[in-house]
Structure 1
Amino acid sequence: MAMLAICIPTFNRAAQLKANLTHLADLLSRHDVEVHVSDNCSTDDTGAVVASFRERSPRIFYHRNATNVGMDGNFAVALGLANTPYVWLLGDDDVVSEVTLGGVLELLADETYDLILLNGGHPDPDRGRVQGEPSRDFHDPERLLVELGWHATWISSLVIGRRLLGAMDVPTYDGTYFSHFIALFGGMAAIGQPRVRWHAPSSFHPSHLASFSWTRRVIEIFATRWSQAVRAIPGPYSAEARQACIRAHGVRTGLLTMVGLLNLRAKGGLDLAEVRRHREALAQCSPCPWPLIVAIAAIPQSWLGTVRRFALRLRRPPSPEAPPAPAEAVETARFPFRQTALDRLTGDHARSAER
């Protein structure tokens, strides 16, 4: 039996899935890995796309839901499709390199882990979205929540062992938009001292076909619903650890920093009504003071080009001769993963809205 199954939830994204399966089919010819596709009742030609690959590879499997069970529901279905010791939950538009796949298989062959948490976001192994966190083992779920919990929202970062899968109750959190995350940390709390490996090299990256459809819901999803999800994790996580995780997502992704909010305002995803509606959550998730958030939401569209250029200038690390930069600029410079495309800021979770 294969050691690893790559499980891909998808919905109406045949082009992205085809590109991904083309790449994976080549890898399957050299590695003993299964690929399972969970189709959330797509209305495009997803089924035909997968069928064409199944004719070439017996290691590619296809499941179609009778009805659309929603994003969280399809995550749960995908996780249950394989019987392998490990399951890698992969976004349908995330690309895995052969070097990465070989490295993950080496890890699984040498040790027994409950979870391998993978860095990702860039084809260069040294340029993943998580910077400054060397590869290491974790045994304390609370420490993992504080230091890297924010990154575990990206479904493609998760290679989950059978013991942890058995402790995860994904269906209970259906409709939260973060069911996989809540169940993951709830399962680790149930185990007590899980064995987790953080793998620092960037191991996957969005393909050129990656897309983002949540622009007008970013504040709702990644402020209000995100903070609710972290608080919903079962287990003895401290209030301080939960708050640290809540804040880390907005800061480390850059989504709710000054520059991130300016990008969101430019794309039409931020206005005064939205920030007022989610004021409490924004106070927990964003490093920006409330008056600055309101000011950004009120900036006329015609001014945004000038304001964004000024904000980007603040992000540049100062030269040795320059005076100290403002605190916001220093904080941003510490975390260099700052691309303007919202799908790169939020990771694959946001691109999976209907999978």
Structure 2
Amino acid sequence: MQANLISEQLSIAIPTYNRADILKENILKMLPELRAYNICIYISDDSSNDDTLNMVELLKNTYNNIVYCRNVPSLGHDRNCIRTLSMPTQEYIWYLGDSMYIENGGIAQLLQKINAVKSDFYVTNVRERNFTHPSQIYTDTRRLFSELAWHLTLTGCCIYRRQVIEQIDTVGLAKNFPQSQIIFNRVVESCNLTFIDEVKVATNINKAKSYWEAEIFNVFGNDWISLIDSVYKVNPTAFERIKVIKSHSKYTGIFGLKNMIKLRFLGVLTLSSYLKNKDNIKLASHINKFVIWGLLFTPRFIFILIKFFHDQKIISKNK
């Protein structure tokens, strides 16, 4: 395909780390629309092996609108985020996680929105979140933070205007959430963001654990709070601090009862891990601290037994 056929309106930028098979599967899922609109894919590879490099070389035989960069040495999550966003030359950049894909029709619908109105950011819905929210243009910063800030942490649902990326100061961006802070820093100055409910991204069912799962209390406790506080210091009137901090747990359930039970079963939620992170958990979680204490003082083997009998019930039901 000739270079002049590549869309100048939209590109897809993907940071990746050791997920060659899933990444290939996701690109192939999106291939009909990629071809239809000549969308260029930019891949910034932080992998520890050559699997993604080899996969991309083979995939180019099928679709050659792919720009690939191997990072040696690896940049790490945050620096690779900035590297990935800086690669495209198109007007808008869809920053897509390597375990995610755009559902059929999503690219066409986004391009229609871009042609209708020029926003600094477009935000899609996510299949797994079951998030019901009307499509709308946000120009009010306070309402945006109240309703949508929690959603903007997910790598895959946000599309950035390249003009905004070119203006960012990459020094001091929040740990683990640089992609979110780029949006937050902009909207506290000038809010111009479009949420599109009908466009959805989805997670590949073969996805392995995310990099942050082993550090869940640190990432979605300390780092999430630090992100919100860094923006709050710039403009304390832009949103209600505690409400926005708790919104992530409230809507994702990451520190809700169901997931805290899971973390207790896995041995992630222990007395020592709680005491180490209790202030951040108390601030970030939307459930009562006494519920968490109840989980902590329930012997872990109880949760293991419950999980065992639950699995046996499912196995018997499926026979």
Instruction: Say if 2:54 is the partner of 1:48.
Output: yes
CA offsets 1:42-98 (integer angstroms, 9 cap, x no match): 314110111112233231111112211110100100100101110000011112122
User: Could you say which residue in structure 2 is the equivalent of 1:100?
Assistant: 106
User: Could you say which residue in structure 2 is the equivalent of 1:115?
Assistant: 121
Instruction: Say if 2:206 is the partner of 1:206.
Output: no
Give how far 1:291 is off.
Answer: 2.2
User: Could you say which residue in structure 2 is the equivalent of 1:276?
Assistant: 275
Rounded Cα–Cα distance in structure 2 between residues aligned with 1:68 and 1:242: 35
CA offsets 1:10-62 (integer angstroms, 9 cap, x no match): 01111111112222333222123111101114314110111112233231111
Bigger mean CA offset, 232-241 vs 279-288: 232-241
Rounded Cα–Cα distance in structure 1 between residues aligned with 2:155 and 2:35: 25
Q: Aligned ranges for residues 27-42 of structure 1 at < 5 Å?
A: 27-42=33-48
Instruction: Say if 2:57 is the partner of 1:61.
Output: no
> Given residue 145 of structure 2, which amino acid in structure 1 is its aligned partner?
L
The answer as to whether partners of 1:167 and 1:187 remain within 8 angstroms in 2 is no
Q: Aligned ranges for residues 62-101 of structure 1 at < 5 Å?
A: 62-101=68-107
Bigger mean CA offset, 293-302 vs 102-111: 293-302
The answer as to whether partners of 2:188 and 2:238 remain within 8 angstroms in 1 is no
User: Could you say which residue in structure 2 is the equivalent of 1:242?
Assistant: 241
User: Could you say which residue in structure 1 is the equivalent of 2:186?
Assistant: 187
Rounded Cα–Cα distance in structure 2 between residues aligned with 1:254 and 1:308: 19
The answer as to whether partners of 2:125 and 2:131 remain within 8 angstroms in 1 is yes
Rounded Cα–Cα distance in structure 2 between residues aligned with 1:230 and 1:142: 13
Note closer, same or farther for the CA distance 1:106–1:42 as it changes in structure 2 (3 Å cut): farther
Give how far 1:134 is off.
Answer: 0.9
The answer as to whether partners of 1:41 and 1:66 remain within 8 angstroms in 2 is no
SS of the aligned residue for 1:203 comes to: strand
Give how far 1:304 is off.
Answer: 1.9
Normalised by the size of structure 2, how large is the TM-score? 0.87
SS of the aligned residue for 1:25 comes to: helix
CA offsets 1:99-158 (integer angstroms, 9 cap, x no match): 111111111122111111111034xxxxx4322x21111012232112110010001010
> Given residue 254 of structure 1, which amino acid in structure 2 is its aligned partner?
G
Moved segments of 4+, more than 6 Å: 305-309
Note closer, same or farther for the CA distance 1:298–1:308 as it changes in structure 2 (3 Å cut): farther
Rounded Cα–Cα distance in structure 2 between residues aligned with 1:171 and 1:83: 22
Give how far 1:166 is off.
Answer: 3.1
User: Could you say which residue in structure 1 is the equivalent of 2:298?
Assistant: 299
Note closer, same or farther for the CA distance 1:273–1:304 as it changes in structure 2 (3 Å cut): same
Give how far 1:240 is off.
Answer: 5.2
Residue of 194, 197, 203 corresponding to 2:194 = 197
Normalised by the size of structure 1, how large is the TM-score? 0.79
Identity of aligned residues (%): 22
Rounded Cα–Cα distance in structure 1 between residues aligned with 2:86 and 2:25: 24
Rounded Cα–Cα distance in structure 2 between residues aligned with 1:23 and 1:171: 36
Rounded Cα–Cα distance in structure 2 between residues aligned with 1:66 and 1:215: 25
Rounded Cα–Cα distance in structure 1 between residues aligned with 2:31 and 2:122: 23
Unmatched tracts of structure 2, length 5 or more: 1-6, 309-319
Unmatched tracts of structure 1, length 5 or more: 123-127, 310-355
* RMSD between aligned residues: 2.2
Give how far 1:280 is off.
Answer: 0.9
User: Could you say which residue in structure 1 is the equivalent of 2:265?
Assistant: 266
User: Could you say which residue in structure 2 is the equivalent of 1:338?
Assistant: none
